[in-house]
Structure 1
Amino acid sequence: MILVGILLLLETTGLSPTRNILLYVPSLFVLVGGWGLVRSRFRNVVGPIVLIGVAGAWQLVALDYATVDQVVVFWPVFVIAFGLSIIAGQFQSRVRATDDTFTSAFAAFGGVEKRITSRTFTGGDLTAVFGGTELDLRDAEIDTKPARVTVLAVFGGVEIVVPREWNVQMDVFPVLGGAADDRPRREGTHEEVDLVVTGFAAFGGVSVTD
C-alpha cells in the first residue's frame, strides 16, 4: 500500500510519470494472495485463491488482454468454488468426527452455538455466511497439541471461546475483514501452542475470547 501510494503521489504531483507502472498494481495483490498461501502452508486456500483470481482478472483487463465484459461472465466460478469449499469442509468434519473430538458448524442467515467437552479435542471446521458461529472450548482438553480449527467468515462472524491459559496462534487471512485474539495478555502464558486458528475472513470477523 505504501508503494502504491508513492506511485500515485508521483503521478498526481507531476514529479514523475508513473501511469505505466500503476498498470501493474493488480500484480501486487496476486503476490499478496500467493504470500497468504505460503504463509499458511496451503491450509488457507479459499481466501488467497479468490484474491489471486480477482487480481489476475483485473491485471488482464488493465493490460488490455481482456475486456471487462469478457471477465465478468466468469464471476459465478467464485460462487461455485465457495460452495465446494463448504462441502469439502463439512465432508472432512464428518469423516474425522468421533464423538466431539472434531466438530463442525455452519451458519447462514442465522446463528449456531456449540460447546465441546471432549478430553481429546483435535479441531473443527466453522463457517459463517451472513450469520454467526460460536464454539465454546472452555471445558475441552487437547491430547495432541496443537488442535486446529479452520474458519470461514463471509459477511458474518466466528467466535471461539477458549480457556484463559491456552496459547492460541491466529493464522487467518482477512480481506476487508478482521481476525484477533481479544483476550488480555497474561504473564503465565506458556510457549507451547495449544490451538491454531486458520481460515479466511471477508467482510466479517474472527475472534478468540475467554
Structure 2
Amino acid sequence: MNQKPTDSRLIIGIILIALGAVLMFNTMGLVDWSVSTYIFSWKTLLILIGIVLITNKQRKVAGTILISLGVAFWIPYIFDVNIRFHQVFWPLVLIGVGVLVISRRGNIPGKPDFDKKKWKHHFGGYSTYRDDFINDISIFGGGHKKVDSKHFKGGNLTSVFGGSEINMIGSEMDAEGCVIDVFTLFGGTTLILPNTWKVQIDTVSILGGINDKRRVASSELDKSKTLVIKGMVMFGGIEIKSY
C-alpha cells in the first residue's frame, strides 16, 4: 500500500536532481541557456508532473493527459506551426478533463455502482450521502456534502479548478478503517472530520499539501481506526477541520 507513493517520490527526487544539475551546468557555462529555457518551462512542467503521475496505477490516465497537454503546447514551437496558445488551450483542457472524469467514474475498489437513491438533497444546504462510499468530482465549482454512514469505507475525491466541503461528523468509520483517494489540481477540498478520527496522510504533493487544523491531543484519537488519505495534490490543497 505504501509502495506506490514511494515510487512517485523517487521519480520526483530524480527529476529535482536532474533540474538542479542542469542549473549548475548552465551556471558553469556547460549548457547553452536556450536549452535551459526549454527545460524550465510550464509546458515541460506539465510533462514532468505527468511522468510522476503515471508511476501510480490509478493516476495513469491523468498523467497521460498532462504529458499530452505538455507535448501539444510544445508542438507549435518545435515544428514552427502557426497556432497561438489561446487557440488550443481551452479545447485541450476540456478534452483532458473529460477523459479524466470518464476514467474516474466508479473507480472505487469493491464498490460496483453508487446508489443514487441514498442521496438526499437539501437546496441551499448540504446534500446528504448515506452510502458507505463517496465519489465527488468538482470541476470549476463545488458543493457541500454530508456523509451519514455507519460503516464509512472511503471513496474518491477529485478537484480540478474547484473543490467541495465534505462533512463526515455524523459518520462512523468501518471497523477496518477507510481510504480516501484524492486528486487535486488547482483546487481545494475541505474535510470536516470527528476529532476522534486518526488521519494518516500518504499523498504526493507538488506545490500543495494537506493541512490538518484539528486541535486534538493524541490521547483523544481512536487509534484502532484510521482514515488514510492517499493520492496526488498539485497546485492546491486539502484542509481538515472539525467543529
TM-score bucket (shorter structure): 0.5 to 0.7
Aligned residue identity for 2:168:
L
Deviations, residues 116-160 of structure 1 (Å, cap 9, x unaligned): 221111223334444431111122122253423233444432111
Matches within 5 A, 1:87-106: 87-92=102-107, 95-97=113-115, 99-106=130-137
Given candidates 77, 97, 100, the residue that maps to 1:85 is 100
Aligned residue identity for 2:59:
N
Counterpart of 1:156 in structure 2 is 187
Moved more, 175-184 or 79-88: 175-184
1:194 and 1:144 mapped to 2: Cα distance?
Answer: 9
Query: Is there any run of 5+ residues in structure 2 with no aligned partner, and where?
Result: 1-15, 119-129
Counterpart of 1:178 in structure 2 is 209
Counterpart of 1:207 in structure 2 is 239
Q: 1:54 to 1:114 in 2, by over 3 A?
A: same
Query: Is there any run of 5+ residues in structure 1 with no aligned partner, and where?
Result: none
- Compute the TM-score of the two structures, normalised by the length of structure 1: 0.67
Secondary structure, aligned partner of 1:180: strand
Secondary structure, aligned partner of 2:200: strand
Q: 1:9 to 1:183 in 2, by over 3 A?
A: same
Given candidates 30, 39, 57, the residue that maps to 1:17 is 30
Per the TM alignment, residue 102 of structure 1 is displaced from its structure 2 partner at its CA by 1.7
- Compute the TM-score of the two structures, normalised by the length of structure 2: 0.60
Say whether the 8 Å CA contact 1:106–1:126 is kept in structure 2: yes
Counterpart of 2:13 in structure 1 is none
Q: Which has the higher contact order (CA 8 A, sep 6+)?
A: 1
Say whether the 8 Å CA contact 1:170–1:180 is kept in structure 2: no
